[in-house]
């Protein structure tokens, strides 16, 4: 069994994906981890899939698959294929500092927490910083999370929790879904501050429309979906 599986959703990252993956692979290898990187191309309109195939041919640690468009859909598909004792996901856009991953692994393996994740304390603009503060305020208020930043990756946890987490959201709301469920399961969560990095390419798709989508999803999960999942947990898992 692998020590670690990291899923990276890929959507129109063709121009810079190889650089990001090579950097991530080098960091994890230098840390002495036994790992696999699972690239999940989801609905790209550029050459992302071709780049994924090239990376997989170059490096036996790189696994690839495809799904229809959807950040959450890609994460769920990748986690289903994960072979690591520890599993998780991060972004492939170059914004996330991969050097933190070995430390997150150590935190879990040394018994300091059950779920380790990044905490981004800086944002690329004042607009994004304000959005983030509002979003995290309401997420913490509605679900009693006590987190500094719900969405920031990497997110790493033991694979044994996957069956109970029962992740389902096909879009970006999966970041809040997994944190809410981890909290409800009583997992000890630890956040590690990571430095701000410039985006390797592409641009943020977050706007006020996506903010409203997140708010509506929060309400759905707070008053309906969360209770549904809790009721499922009471039944014996297959």
What are 131-148's pLDDT values in tens digits?
888 889 999 999 999 999
Q: Average pLDDT of 6-19?
A: 96
> Parallel, antiparallel, or unpaired: how do β-strands 62-67 and 84-89 relate?
unpaired
Q: Quick one: three-class SS letters along 99-159?
A: HHHHHHHHHHHCCCCCEEEEEECCCCCHHHHHHHHHHHHHHHHHHCCCCCCCCCCCEEEEH
Neighbours of 65 (CB within 10 A): 17
pTM: 0.92
How many residues are recorded in the chain?
238
Cα end-to-end distance, the chain, whole Å: 22
CATH for 2-233, among 2.40.50.1020, 3.40.1350.10, 3.90.550.10, 3.20.20.70? 3.90.550.10
Radius of gyration of the chain (CA): 17
Strand partners of residue 66? 41
Q: Average pLDDT of 181-192?
A: 98
Per-residue model confidence (pLDDT) at position 202: 52
Q: Average pLDDT of 68-72?
A: 97
pLDDT tens per residue, range 204-221: 555 566 667 878 899 999
Per-residue model confidence (pLDDT) at position 124: 67
């Amino acid at each position: 069994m692998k020590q670690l599986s990291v899923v990276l959703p890929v959507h129109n990252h063709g121009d810079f994906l190889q650089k990001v993956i090579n950097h991530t692979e080098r960091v994890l290898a230098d840390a002495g981890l036994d790992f696999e990187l699972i690239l999940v191309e989801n609905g790209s309109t550029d050459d992302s899939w071709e780049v994924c195939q090239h990376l997989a041919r170059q490096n036996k640690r790189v696994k690839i698959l495809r799904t229809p468009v959807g950040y959450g859909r890609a994460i769920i598909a990748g986690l289903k294929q994960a072979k690591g004792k520890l599993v998780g996901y991060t972004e492939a856009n170059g914004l996330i500092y991969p050097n933190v991953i070995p430390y997150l692994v150590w935190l879990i393996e040394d018994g300091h927490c059950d779920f380790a994740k990044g905490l981004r304390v800086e944002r690329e603009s004042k607009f994004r910083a304000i959005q983030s503060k509002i979003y995290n305020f309401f997420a913490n208020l509605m679900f009693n999370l006590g987190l500094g930043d719900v969405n920031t990756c990497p997110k790493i946890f033991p694979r044994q929790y996957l069956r109970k987490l029962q992740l389902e959201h096909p879009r970006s709301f999966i970041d809040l879904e997994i944190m809410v469920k981890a909290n409800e399961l009583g997992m000890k969560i630890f956040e590690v501050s990571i430095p701000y990095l410039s985006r390797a390419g592409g641009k943020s798709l977050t706007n006020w429309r996506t903010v409203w989508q997140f708010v509506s999803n929060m309400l759905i999960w707070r008053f309906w979906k969360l209770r549904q999942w809790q009721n499922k947990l009471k039944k014996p898992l297959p």
